[in-house]
Amino acid sequence: MSSTPLGEFTDSAALTLGVELELQLVSRRDFDLTRGATDLIGSLDYDGRYGEIKLEITESMIEISTQPQATVDGIAADLGGLRETLRHHSQRNNIGICGGGTHPFHRWPERRICPGERFDDLYQRYGYLAKQFTVFGQHIHVGCTSADDAIWLTQALGVYVPAFIALSASSPFVDGVDSFFQSARLNAVSAFPLSGQCPPLAGWADFVEHFSFLQACGIAQSIKDLYWDVRPKPEFGTVEIRVCDTPLTIEQAVALAALAQSLARWLLRTRPELQTAKQLHVARYNKFQACRYGMAAMISDPIALAQQPMQEILKALFETLADDARELGCEHWLKALRHGIADEAGDAAWLRAKQQEHGNLNDVVREATERLMPPPSKPSAENS
């Protein structure tokens, strides 16, 4: 391991998981985004047993993150605990909380950057993009036993970015209108100069060299400047999948973590040959397809020189991962995720259906808050 501005790569137990969810803080009066993050976090009476609850870049967002867990059930328990903690504190402060990749109708100029040196620095560096970055994603960390494995897995997972986008898509509305995208959130991320995918790298040493090059060019100062779809996280010893929209339910977030863990296990076990350079040629196209059409996307295969429907890719993927999921004890979560493969069953479709039903987006967000935090006695039916 080399000592660079990246720091040492902290080896972690294989396939351990961590999940981060960025959540929306909304007013219970009209369900528009509200500035409440500092007050909410400031009033927390919480011992941190399920993980962290912290500020994100604007005052209308918070981020929850689980403890590192060996199993998906552990992640489910942590997210459940965090949800109950948030339920208690948000009710005390009369703030609504919901998932979804974008707030359907907020006005980004009204957002305010959270206090803090890092947030202020981001605002100074990126200007209005920082406020437009009021979008909400799920990040999934998968533990790697070595830095070289992490770089290999970063590239291997790149191929499956469209699958994660399609399965988590929950941001069809932007600025009060239907964007026609299933996930419009990633368009906000794409505006950042270092967004995209990891280039072909032979291993950790290669990555360190690549990063040093970026640093020498004055482009990146820390790993946080790389807004890659999948990136290594040396300090945690993980690979971080960053393309998912925050789902509308905790259960869907857990199911996506199950997919990440099963997929990582299968990849590391079978070690398919990487074609990162070729994949890079189609990566942006495939990502657009997944964002725009979700399950109806046509995904380009640069090896077979053909296109394939997303639904078929996903069906085949779930078949492939069945054994690994069973070994990991998370096959029940994957089963729930498979229901989302049907064309109109995802979170984006749910949001559009609610918009059709109510004829306005305030009610859509109101129902989304109830969907993220159903009353304790009532399980969230749609994902069971």
Contact positions vs another protein (CB under 8 A): 27-31, 34-36, 38-39, 42-43, 45, 89, 91-94, 110, 112, 115, 358-360, 362-363, 366
Using the minimum distance from each CB to another protein, give the nearer residue, 95 or 156: 95
**Shortest Cβ distance from residue 283 to another protein (Å)?**
38
Distance CA 368, CA 347 (A): 10
| 8 Å CB contact between 162 and 299 | yes
Burial of 151 (0-12, 13-18, 19+ CB in 10 A): buried
Distance CA 359, CA 179 (A): 16
**Shortest Cβ distance from residue 45 to another protein (Å)?**
7
Using the minimum distance from each CB to another protein, give the nearer residue, 94 or 270: 94
Using the minimum distance from each CB to another protein, give the nearer residue, 36 or 346: 36
DSSP 251-315: HHHHHHHHHHHHHHHHHHHH-PPP-HHHHHHHHHHHHHHHHHHGGG-EEEETTTTEEEEHHHHHH
Distance CA 55, CA 61 (A): 7
Using the minimum distance from each CB to another protein, give the nearer residue, 8 or 357: 357
Using the minimum distance from each CB to another protein, give the nearer residue, 140 or 361: 361
**Shortest Cβ distance from residue 358 to another protein (Å)?**
7
Closest listed residue to residue 300, CA positions, set 315, 316, 284: 284
In three-state secondary structure terms, 179 is coil
The CA radius of gyration of the chain, in Å to the nearest whole number, is 20
Using the minimum distance from each CB to another protein, give the nearer residue, 56 or 78: 56
DSSP 8-29: ------TT-EEEEEEEEEEETT
Which DSSP category does 57 fall into?
Answer: S
Distance CA 344, CA 120 (A): 40
Using the minimum distance from each CB to another protein, give the nearer residue, 218 or 359: 359
Positive or negative, the CA dihedral 300, 303, 306, 310 is negative
| 8 Å CB contact between 184 and 102 | yes
Using the minimum distance from each CB to another protein, give the nearer residue, 41 or 336: 41
**Shortest Cβ distance from residue 334 to another protein (Å)?**
37
**Shortest Cβ distance from residue 168 to another protein (Å)?**
28
Using the minimum distance from each CB to another protein, give the nearer residue, 113 or 274: 113
What are the CA-CA distances from residue 189 to residues 102, 196, 349 (Å)? 12, 9, 22
What are the CA-CA distances from residue 346 to residues 83, 119, 314, 318 (Å)? 21, 33, 14, 17
**Shortest Cβ distance from residue 148 to another protein (Å)?**
46
